[in-house]
């Protein structure tokens, strides 16, 4: 059973983070993946409200237009734009990165927010990766690698990778990351992708912090976002997420509370020099498994993923 943390940051909102006098995002550019709903949408809305320049990715362009219209209605002076991106296709990732580079956009922070939960049936990306591993990890790895020079040129800069407490359910299966040997367990596949997020951020920081690019991973908390719709009613009741009357458990965060940690990770001055850390509830956390903090595993994953995407680099 999930238990609400007693840390004061548990209920902190994006607005509370960005209203701090020592945080000023005006004139800074944030690139956010998956911003047409949930945490990503709240992230771009809150940052735009405080004067940041926003670039976000979307699979559904109609949904992207709706988000832009809502942001402009709330903040008429908002500087916000989007490009199409399908993270289940490395060709789409490459095309997106090329568009961003060709536009001349100077990125201060990359927030790898987009993610999927798809655990009932086995499926692959167009490039042949197990869907959750390919979308949640491989695509974001490639995107970051393609934009790393931009981030270095605009240092100090940050890369924020949204992971999950769900990483605790499993490591990266280096000998079978595609789950082709034996029965498929979608929860373990999701856990693998979230462990990969943490390892990726850790090794990215090791390689690039000296060049001015710091990386962080995080658990946003449990939030009622569209990703929850992929969990069966049976599992929702079993996990205690909702009671039989349909009421959400008290430990669920609102979307502004859930997005607060990634907004804090992207903006807080007190995190400078702490790259590689895992965050939750707007603080540095140690609630990460040994398998997700293993530097040898982080390096091994980096080498593996570079091999998987080498034709797009």
Tens digit of each residue's pLDDT (9 = 90 or more) over 7-25: 778 899 999 999 999 999 9
The answer, yes or no, to whether residue 219 has pLDDT greater than 60, is yes
CATH code (residue 186):
3.40.50.720
Alpha carbon separation from 196 to 73, 81, 281 (Å, rounded): 38, 29, 21
The answer for residues whose C-beta is within 8 angstroms of residue 165's C-beta and 6 or more apart is: 2, 219, 280, 287
Q: Is 313 among the domain residues?
A: no
Band (pLDDT 50/70/90 cuts) for residue 1 is very low
Distance, CA of 205 to CA of 213 (rounded, Å): 7
Structural domain span for residue 168: 8-308
pLDDT in tens, 63-107: 999 999 999 999 999 999 999 999 999 999 999 999 999 999 999
Q: Is 2 among the domain residues?
A: no
The answer for residues whose C-beta is within 8 angstroms of residue 228's C-beta and 6 or more apart is: 236, 241
Domain count, the chain: 1
Q: Is 1 among the domain residues?
A: no
| Token digits of residue 171 | 């490591």
Q: Is 42 among the domain residues?
A: yes
Q: State percent of the chain over pLDDT 90.
A: 84
The answer, yes or no, to whether residue 207 has pLDDT greater than 90, is yes
Unique residue bearing structure tokens 């940052």: 47
DSSP-derived secondary structure letter, 246:
-
pLDDT of residue 160: 99
Report, as residue numbers or ranges, the catalytic residues: 190
pTM of the predicted structure, to 2 decimals: 0.93
pLDDT of residue 50: 98
pLDDT in tens, 237-275: 555 566 566 666 566 799 999 999 999 999 999 999 999
Q: Is 3 among the domain residues?
A: no
Q: Is 256 among the domain residues?
A: yes
pLDDT in tens, 133-170: 999 999 999 999 999 999 999 999 999 999 999 999 99
């Amino acid at each position: 059973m999930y238990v609400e943390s007693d840390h004061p940051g548990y209920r902190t909102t994006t607005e509370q983070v960005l209203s701090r006098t020592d945080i000023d995002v005006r004139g800074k550019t944030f690139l956010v993946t998956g911003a047409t709903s949930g945490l990503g949408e709240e992230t771009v809305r809150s940052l735009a409200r405080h004067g940041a320049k926003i670039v976000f990715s979307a699979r559904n362009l109609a949904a992207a237009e709706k988000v832009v219209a809502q942001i402009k209605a709330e903040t008429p002076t908002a500087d916000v734009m989007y490009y199409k991106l399908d993270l289940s296709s490395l060709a789409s990732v490459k095309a997106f990165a090329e568009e961003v580079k060709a536009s001349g956009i100077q990125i201060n922070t990359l927030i790898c927010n987009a993610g999927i939960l798809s655990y009932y049936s086995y499926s692959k990306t167009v490039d042949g990766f197990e869907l959750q591993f390919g979308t949640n990890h491989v695509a974001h790895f490639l995107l970051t690698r393609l934009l790393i020079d931009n981030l270095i040129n605009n240092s100090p800069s940050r890369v924020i990778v949204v992971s999950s407490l769900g990483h605790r359910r499993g490591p990266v299966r280096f000998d079978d990351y595609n789950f082709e040997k034996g029965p498929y367990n979608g929860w373990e596949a999701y856990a693998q992708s979230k462990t990969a997020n943490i390892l990726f951020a850790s090794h990215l920081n090791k390689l690039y912090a000296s060049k001015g690019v710091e990386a962080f991973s995080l658990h946003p908390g449990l939030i009622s976002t569209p990703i929850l719709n992929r969990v069966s009613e049976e599992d929702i009741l079993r996990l205690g997420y909702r009671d039989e009357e349909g009421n959400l458990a008290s430990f669920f965060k609102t979307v502004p509370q859930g997005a607060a940690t990634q907004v804090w990770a992207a903006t807080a001055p007190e995190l400078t020099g702490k790259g590689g850390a895992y965050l939750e509830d707007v603080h540095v956390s140690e609630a990460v498994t040994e398998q997700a903090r293993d530097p040898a595993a982080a390096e091994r994953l980096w080498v593996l993923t570079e091999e998987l995407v080498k034709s797009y680099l």
